[in-house]
Amino acid sequence: MRIRITCLVVFLFAILFAQIGFADTASTDKRTFQFPEDVSIGAVYLIPLNDRDAKLQATSAKGQVTLVVPPRHWLAFVGGPILCRKPNLLEGRNFKGIDYLKLNYHSFEDDGKSLTDPVLRHLKSFEDIQVLNVRHSDATDAGLSNVKGLSKLTQIDAFQCALRGQCLAAFESVPLENLDISSNIVSAQELKGLSKLKKLKYLNIAAMNPSIDAQGLQEIAKCQHLIYLYLTGDKRVDDASVGCLSCLSQLKRLGLTDTSVTVSGFRKLKGLKLEHLGINSSIKNDQGELATLKTLFPKCRFLSSSAPTISTDDRHLFAPMQH
């Protein structure tokens, strides 16, 4: 009798472990890509969503590549130097399953030709991307207009590119939530395209040249779902123009460091439930003015430009060269 019971228990545990193993296999997200066999066109790696500076399991984008993508990770592709010379290496290929695409090419020639745009013409090869990173590149409006049809694209980082703003019309066709076009040259006329981005929650439009003016702020104020808005360094944002932002009822974080906004301008924003507010260091150092701001925004943390932060990309870009 004991032998039968023991055999039954072993049998049941065997079934249980088999089911667990099957469930683990079923939940495994294994992705396989066929890159060119004779040359590497870049690198692929995993990015944990809780540490986006990390690069896990990096491998060359050459031949057949298979990676297992754990939950809460992106699979990233970074284009190598050969792509800006031979973008047609992407012709006819499908890299379905890439979540994050990074292209950071920049030409130092005087002919005005972009190195990044020819690669961006092949964005259809990356139909699943959620994030497009072209920061510090020579991408233009023509190149970024190729995002049309990318149904999963929610983030674009185009800091310090060669944009004039015409690409905003193309962004209307994607479910964009997070947009960084800071340090570009975008007119108030082109900013009208922002109001058509119905899902936009995060907007970084800092340090523009020319600076955002009153008309530009009026266009930004039409983005009713904004939670984060950064206007740092836009000197023409002042007390007279900033009041239009008071209609952004969902705003939690507002960057107005190194603008011309004083306490008088912040009074016009009373009622916003801000949690973080970037202010000029002169205000933060004046205890009376700071007390006024604390009354206007009682649950807010106030930040100034006294301790600027440096992004990871900037840190790598300007790091000493290795000999």
Place of tokens 């801000």: 274
For residue 309, is pLDDT > 90?
Answer: no
pTM (predicted TM-score) = 0.85
Q: What is the pLDDT of residue 108?
A: 84
Give the tens place of pLDDT for each residue, 198-227: 999 999 999 998 889 999 999 999 999 999
Mean pLDDT of the 137-147 span: 97
Better-scored residue on pLDDT, 323 or 269: 269
CATH architecture, domain 186-307 = Alpha-Beta Horseshoe (3.80)
What residues contact residue 293 under an 8 Å CB cut-off, 6+ apart? Answer: 263, 266, 277, 279, 283, 300, 302
User: In which residue are the tokens 């960057």 written?
Assistant: 255
- Higher pLDDT pick, 19 / 228: 228
Going from N- to C-terminal start, the domains of the chain cover 29-142, 186-307
Specify the residue for token string 């990390």. 54
Model confidence over 29-83: pLDDT tens digits? 999 999 999 999 999 999 999 898 889 999 999 999 999 999 999 999 999 999 9
Task: Judge whether 263 and 286 are in contact, CB under 8 Å.
Answer: no
